[in-house]
Every structure is written in structure tokens, then in C-alpha cells.
């Protein structure tokens, strides 16, 4: 299944010298006799998945994650390429840090690592980073992710520079004056729980700003991790007018809602019903109220927002799926909700959750879903990836869309365990991940090792 070439057929894939050598019914016949063979009958063979929103925490925060553990988690999730965010310590705002990550990724990474640079120096939102030198160092986009440039004039200049260097700009959409110190969605549940609210308007305001500036400058702006119905509506309207704007969504925002912060009992009898239509709550995952693994930025929102994000994915308004994989140590998350850092891990669960909500939920065809993890992010960032075309790097993911499995804390390859999905029964997963013709992860090998 190769959405870039509109291919969806039973076929063999021949890999030679790290490249795709042939695809088709007779591709196997072209293989030399000594070539290794993998029986993939019944599986989806697709271009290696790309996650364009990952926090690898290297340099500076390697207690949370490092390039070895982050790329291992990516491989387990079926990802052959990941794009890391620049909010490390120090921030990736100069050519030297970009080079350091490229070097470490070549040494310790098991999948391809692409790097984004910061928009502003030290991600402080005050002064532009040296965008030209970041481009020369090989960044694929710029973003202040984790933060958001508040000064609209500065953002305009960033877009103008980015256009000169043909770099897409990705933005974490958050208006600080509206959000202030909000820790969860502002609505019914934050009032019940006594937690400070993060209103949807805080996201929509910056999505609207980005649409205006994309229109003004002609630079492509990509809105990261959209969570609110109003953001999706604005994006849909702007795209219709031809504004160079795009968006991405993360599975937690279209699986969970803010009711989850009130605990599993409240969630399953309210918004959770959409995931589990049977009246019984037997054997469903449990968690307490105020569980900080349900705290992320932007926050989980209402059932209406969840539905709007799903609709945006279904009608093509949102073209890209990603995790916003954001590892944090246990000791950082095991504090009061107010004090915990935002974010959850996601590389190992995002494919299953996307398959469940979009494919098994009958909102998207499998090729359309795979496109949101392959050709679409590759096109946005001009990556030479995301296709099984002859001559392309042999990055391949094998998927069993119907495989049922439970995500267990003991099995995660990430250094951190801040996922809300431990104990969840999931459906669909990658069973092998191949990077440059080399198997970097297979479910079978793991079963044997265990
Ligand atoms: Zn972000």
C-alpha cells in the first residue's frame, strides 16, 4: 500500500542495497536466489511511517529520553523516520546543536532522525534565530514548539525569512494572555475539579493569526497538535481559499476528552461511551481523578472537539497524524496536577489509536490513513521519504491492522512511562520496521527474546 503512487494491491517488494528495487506481482522473480525472504501474507506493507512531532530530549534532558531510547520506541511503533523538536536544553537554535544531533542520531539512532530548528533564540520569543544557518545545517522546518511566538510582527518576519530559505514553519498555537496558567480545558470539568482552565480560544486565536500571516507572506504555516473544534473550522475555511496552511492531530486528542481528568469512572460513563458502547465497564482501564498522565498541552477537550478533530481528519482538513511524544520522568509527573509538566509519550500507541478511531471507526480508508503518516508529512517537510517508489530508501513498515494487544508498561522502549494508555486493549499494530533495508524491530524477534 503506497498512497504516494496510489498503489493498493497484492504485490511483492524487492529490496536491494538499502533501496526499493521493484514492486509488483513479479518483483520476487527478479530477486537473486540467495536473497532473504519475509513472508508478509495478510499484512499491510507500506512506506515507513513518519512522525513529524517528537521530543527526543537530547541534549540536556536525557533522564527523560535519549536518541537511543526515543528511536527504539519509534521503531516499535512502526516509525522509520521521526522529526525532533528543538525545545531541548540548550535549544536547537544554532548550527552546532543541529550537527550534534545529526552525529548522535547516526551513532545511536535506529531510525532516521530529522531535526527542526527554533524560530527564536533560546525559544524565548524575543529575537529571531539564525534561520539561514539553521537551514544550511540541515533543519527541515523551524518551530518554537512547547512555546509560541506571541509577537505577531516577529512571527511575520520569521515567515518572511523562512520563505527565503524555503523552510516550512510549524507552530504550537497558544495565546499566553488567554491561557495564562491554565492546566486543563476550560469548561465543565475544570470547574468541577477546581483546576485552572486553558480555553479553546487560546488555541484558535493563534490559528487565526497564522492564517492571516500565511496569507500575508505566502509562507506555509503548519499548526501543530490541533485540539479545538474552532481551530479545525478555521483551517477548513482558510484551505478552501487556498491559504498555505496545514494542520496535524494527535491520537490522545481524538480518543480522550477532558472528562478523563476526572478519573476513569467518570470518563467511561460520559464521553468514554463513544469508545466503549457496551453498558458494562468491566475490564476497562482504570485510573484515578487528577492523573497527570492526562495532562498535556494543548489539553484534552470536549466530546464536541474530539468529534470535530475526527471530522477534520476524515474530510482532509487535517492532513497529518503524529504523536507529540513528550517523555517525562516519573518523579516529575508524580506531583499535584498543577505542578506536573505537560505531555505524554505516544510513539508506541499512536498507530493503534489512529487505526481504532479512524479505520476501524469507519471514518478513513486505510490508504488515506497511511498517507497521513507517510506521503503527507514527507511533502510538507520535503523529506525524501514516505513512498515505496523504485529507487527510494527501503524504509518499510509492516502492519497488522487487526492485531489485538494490550499496551504494557513493562514493554515500553521509551525511557519514560508517562502514557495514559497502559492497560488499554488496542487494535492494530506494526509487526516489523525496516530502515534502509535493515530490520530494526520485529514483533517476532521480540517474542523469541522474551
Ligand atoms: Zn507543542
Q: How many CB atoms lie within 10 A of CB 280?
A: 8
Residue 13 neighbours by CB under 8 Å, 6+ apart: 20, 22, 23, 27, 45, 388, 396
Residue 330: strand, helix, or coil: helix
191 burial level (CB within 10 Å; 0-12, 13-18, 19+): exposed
For the chain (450 residues), the mean pLDDT of every run of 10, in chain order, is 97 96 92 91 96 97 97 98 97 97 97 98 98 98 98 98 97 98 98 98 98 97 98 98 98 98 96 82 89 98 98 98 98 97 98 98 98 98 98 98 96 96 96 97 74
* DSSP β-bridge partners for residue 44: 399
- Distance of alpha carbon 210 from alpha carbon 171, whole angstroms: 8
- Distance of alpha carbon 218 from alpha carbon 7, whole angstroms: 33
- Distance of alpha carbon 383 from alpha carbon 168, whole angstroms: 12
Radius of gyration of the chain (CA): 21
Measured in angstroms, how far is the CA atom of residue 198 from the centroid of ligand 1? Answer: 14
Residue 222 neighbours by CB under 8 Å, 6+ apart: 141, 168, 169, 170, 171, 245, 246, 247, 248, 320, 380
| Pairing verdict, β 320-321 and 245-249 | parallel
In the Cβ-directed half-sphere of 221, how many Cα atoms lie within 13 Å?
32
Q: Are 331 and 311 in contact (CB under 8 A)?
A: no
Closest-CA residue to 17 (of 398, 397, 442, 393): 393
Q: How many residues can be counted in the chain?
A: 450
Residue 91 neighbours by CB under 8 Å, 6+ apart: 97, 118, 122, 123
The full DSSP string for 225-254 is S---HHHHHHHHHHHHTT-SEEEEE-HHHH
Residues with CB under 5 Å of ion ligand 1 are 145, 172
DSSP state of 60: T
DSSP state of 144: -
Q: How many CB atoms lie within 10 A of CB 121?
A: 15
Q: Are 202 and 178 in contact (CB under 8 A)?
A: yes
Distance of CA 408 to the CA centre of its chain: 20
Measured in angstroms, how far is the CA atom of residue 381 from the centroid of ligand 1? Answer: 17
Measured in angstroms, how far is the CA atom of residue 221 from the centroid of ligand 1? Answer: 14
pLDDT of residue 278: 72
Q: What is the CA angle 276-277-283, rounded to 5?
A: 40
- Distance of alpha carbon 4 from alpha carbon 370, whole angstroms: 10
What angle, rounded to 10 degrees, do the helices at 152-164 and 201-217 form? 50
Measured in angstroms, how far is the CA atom of residue 274 from the centroid of ligand 1? Answer: 27
Residue 373: strand, helix, or coil: coil
Q: Please give the sequence-ordered ranges of beta strands (E in DSSP) within 161-212, or none if there are none.
A: 169-171, 184-185, 197-198
Residue 41: strand, helix, or coil: coil
Measured in angstroms, how far is the CA atom of residue 140 from the centroid of ligand 1? Answer: 17
Closest-CA residue to 287 (of 306, 255, 262, 269): 262
- Distance of alpha carbon 291 from alpha carbon 293, whole angstroms: 5
Preceding amide of 298 cis, omega within 30: yes
Joined grid coordinates for residue 217:
507572506
Measured in angstroms, how far is the CA atom of residue 344 from the centroid of ligand 1? Answer: 11
Measured in angstroms, how far is the CA atom of residue 296 from the centroid of ligand 1? Answer: 9
Closest-CA residue to 360 (of 289, 447, 271, 429): 429
- Distance of alpha carbon 409 from alpha carbon 411, whole angstroms: 5
pTM: 0.97
Measured in angstroms, how far is the CA atom of residue 226 from the centroid of ligand 1? Answer: 10
Q: Which sequence positions are flagged as catalytic?
A: 324
Measured in angstroms, how far is the CA atom of residue 196 from the centroid of ligand 1? Answer: 19
Measured in angstroms, how far is the CA atom of residue 324 from the centroid of ligand 1? Answer: 7
- Distance of alpha carbon 125 from alpha carbon 114, whole angstroms: 23
CA separation, residue 291 to residues 188, 227, 337 (Å): 17, 20, 7
Measured in angstroms, how far is the CA atom of residue 97 from the centroid of ligand 1? Answer: 20
Measured in angstroms, how far is the CA atom of residue 137 from the centroid of ligand 1? Answer: 23
Measured in angstroms, how far is the CA atom of residue 60 from the centroid of ligand 1? Answer: 18
Amino acid at each position: 500500500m503506497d498512497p504516494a503512487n496510489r498503489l493498493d494491491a497484492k504485490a511483492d517488494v524487492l529490496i536491494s542495497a538499502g533501496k526499493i528495487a521493484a514492486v509488483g506481482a513479479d518483483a520476487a522473480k527478479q530477486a537473486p536466489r540467495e536473497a532473504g525472504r519475509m513472508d508478509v501474507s495478510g499484512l499491510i506493507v507500506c512506506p515507513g511511517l513518519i512522525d513529524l512531532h517528537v521530543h527526543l530530549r537530547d541534549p540536556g534532558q536525557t533522564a527523560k529520553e535519549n536518541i537511543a531510547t526515543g528511536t527504539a520506541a519509534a521503531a516499535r511503533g512502526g516509525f522509520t523516520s521521526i522529526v525532533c523538536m528543538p525545545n531541548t536544553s540548550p535549544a536547537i537554535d544554532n548550527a552546532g546543536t543541529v550537527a550534534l544531533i545529526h552525529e548522535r542520531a547516526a551513532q545511536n539512532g535506529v531510525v532516521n532522525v530529522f531535526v527542526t530548528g527554533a524560530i527564536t533564540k533560546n525559544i524565548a520569543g524575543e529575537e529571531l534565530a539564525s534561520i539561514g544557518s539553521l537551514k544550511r545545517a540541515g533543519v527541515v522546518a523551524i518551530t518554537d514548539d512547547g512555546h509560541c511566538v506571541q509577537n505577531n510582527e516577529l512571527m511575520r518576519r520569521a515567515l518572511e525569512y523562512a520563505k527565503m530559505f524555503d523552510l516550512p514553519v510549524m507552530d504550537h498555537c497558544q495565546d499566553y494572555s488567554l491561557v495564562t496558567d491554565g492546566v486543563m480545558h476550560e469548561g465543565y470539568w475544570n470547574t468541577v475539579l477546581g483546576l485552572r482552565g486553558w480555553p479553546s480560544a487560546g488555541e484558535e486565536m493563534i490559528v487565526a493569526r497564522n492564517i492571516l500571516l500565511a496569507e500575508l507572506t505566502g509562507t506555509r504555516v503548519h499548526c501543530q497538535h490541533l485540539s479545538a473544534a474552532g481551530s479545525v473550522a478555521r483551517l477548513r475555511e482558510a484551505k478552501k481559499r487556498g491559504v498555505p496552511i496545514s494542520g496535524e492531530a494527535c491520537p490522545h486528542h481524538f480518543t480522550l476528552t477532558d472528562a478523563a481528568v476526572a478519573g476513569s469512572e467518570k470518563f467511561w460513563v460520559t464521553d468514554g461511551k463513544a469508545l466503549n458502547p457496551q453498558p458494562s465497564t468491566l475490564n476497562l482501564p482504570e485510573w484515578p481523578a487528577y492523573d497527570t498522565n492526562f495532562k498535556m498541552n494543548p489539553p484534552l477537550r470536549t466530546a464536541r472537539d474530539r468529534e470535530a478533530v475526527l471530522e477534520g481528519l476524515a474530510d482532509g482538513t487535517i492532513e497529518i497524524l503524529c504523536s507529540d511524544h513528550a517523555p517525562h520522568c516519573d518523579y516529575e509527573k508524580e506531583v499535584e496536577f498543577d505542578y506536573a509538566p505537560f505531555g505524554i509519550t505516544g510513539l508506541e500507541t499512536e498507530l493503534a489509536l489512529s487505526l481504532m478511531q479512524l479505520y476501524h471507526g469507519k471514518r478513513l480508508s486505510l490508504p488515506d490513513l497511511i498517507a497521513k503518516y507517510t506521503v503527507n508529512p514527507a511533502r510538507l517537510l520535503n523529506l525524501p521519504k514516505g513512498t515505496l517508489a523504485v529507487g527510494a530508501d527501503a524504509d518499510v513498515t509492516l502492519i497488522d491492522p487487526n492485531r489485538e494487544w494490550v499496551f504494557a508498561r513493562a514493554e515500553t522502549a521509551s525511557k519514560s512511562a508517562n502514557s495514559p494508555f497502559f492497560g488499554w486493549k488496542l487494535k492494530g499494530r506494526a509487526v516489523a520496521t525496516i530502515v534502509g533495508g535493515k530490520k530494526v524491530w520485529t514483533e517476532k524477534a521480540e517474542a523469541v527474546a522474551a
